[in-house]
Structure 1
Amino acid sequence: MARRDLTGAVDFAYLESYAAGDLEVVAEVLELFRQQAALWAPLIAPGQEGWPDAVHTIKGTARGIGAHTLAKACEAAETHGEGRLSAVRDALDAALADVAAYVHELMLRSLKGPPRSP
């Protein structure tokens, strides 16, 4: 997968550095993020009782993977209320799209296997 498919919603270099370059750890962390996002998505809608907790959890996880725009959107929702939840949903969607493209790229790399010696 070409890097052009990434929007910049997630700073993967930050995550790779944090994981000391271990791409298996990076892939595992991103899979956990995707699974948890599926749980959070229904809660980040106006009128949902648990949205503040969901937004707070998403903010911390977003910071952990380098999704800075998502973390900022969550912080704004915590500060200014549920009127900012649409920005959280949009930022979460963008982060998930980048995660999917990045994980796809990792999978393609793994198919190529390690470089062979001449």
Structure 2
Amino acid sequence: MSRRDLTGAVDFSVLDRTTGGDDAVAEEVLGLFVQQAGMWSPMLDARQEGWKDAVHTIRGAAAGIGAGALAAVCKAAEAADKADAPPLLDRVRDALDIALADVAAWRHELMLRSLKP
């Protein structure tokens, strides 16, 4: 993966402002995002008792790195009743997958930049 693989699902200028342009801090934040996604994504199922907590946590993490579309679908899912949640949670999972692909590409870019003298 590389920068050319970015879809635009994550606005990395948000992350850049948050981290003050520090690539090491950006890598740490993105690593935490990936970790959070892995921890909470299994709960993105309306049959799971904590699905709203999962959506809420992913929403905050997404907003923090500039994944606005993911944060928006999380907001909609979080506001839904359990009966209406399944298709919204499908959208959250899809948006999360796309954001994670962008994060992987950006982390690769960060790794390449760290190799340059």
- Same fold flag (TM > 0.5): yes
Specify the alignment match of 1:103 in structure 2. Answer: 107
Q: CA deviation at 1:2?
A: 4.5
Specify the alignment match of 1:89 in structure 2. Answer: 93
Q: CA deviation at 1:112?
A: 2.1
Change (3 A) 1:31 1:2: closer
Alpha-carbon distance between aligned partners in 2 of 1:37 and 1:22, rounded to the nearest angstrom: 23
Q: Which runs of 5+ in 2 are unaligned?
A: none
Alpha-carbon distance between aligned partners in 1 of 2:32 and 2:11, rounded to the nearest angstrom: 17
Q: Deviations over 1:73-109 (max 9, x none)?
A: 1001012242210000001111110000000111111
Q: Which amino acid counterpart does residue 44 of structure 2 have in structure 1?
A: I
Query: Equivalent residues in 2 for 1:69-88 (5 A)?
Result: 69-81=69-81, 82-83=85-86, 84-88=88-92
Q: Which amino acid counterpart does residue 114 of structure 2 have in structure 1?
A: S
Indicate if the aligned counterparts of 2:73 and 2:91 stay in contact, CA closer than 8 A: yes
Specify the alignment match of 1:57 in structure 2. Answer: 57
Alpha-carbon distance between aligned partners in 2 of 1:67 and 1:109, rounded to the nearest angstrom: 22
| Higher relative contact order structure (alpha carbons within 8 Å, sequence separation ≥ 6) | 2
| TM-score, with length taken from structure 1 | 0.90
Runs (4+) off by over 6 Å: none
Q: CA deviation at 1:3?
A: 2.7
Please report the RMSD computed on the Cα atoms of aligned residues, expressed in angstroms.
1.2
Query: Structure 1 vs Structure 2: percent identity of aligned residues?
Result: 62
The structure whose Rg is larger is 1
Q: Which amino acid counterpart does residue 29 of structure 1 have in structure 2?
A: V
Q: Which amino acid counterpart does residue 101 of structure 2 have in structure 1?
A: A
Alpha-carbon distance between aligned partners in 2 of 1:2 and 1:40, rounded to the nearest angstrom: 26
| TM-score, with length taken from structure 2 | 0.90
1:48 aligns with 2:52: no
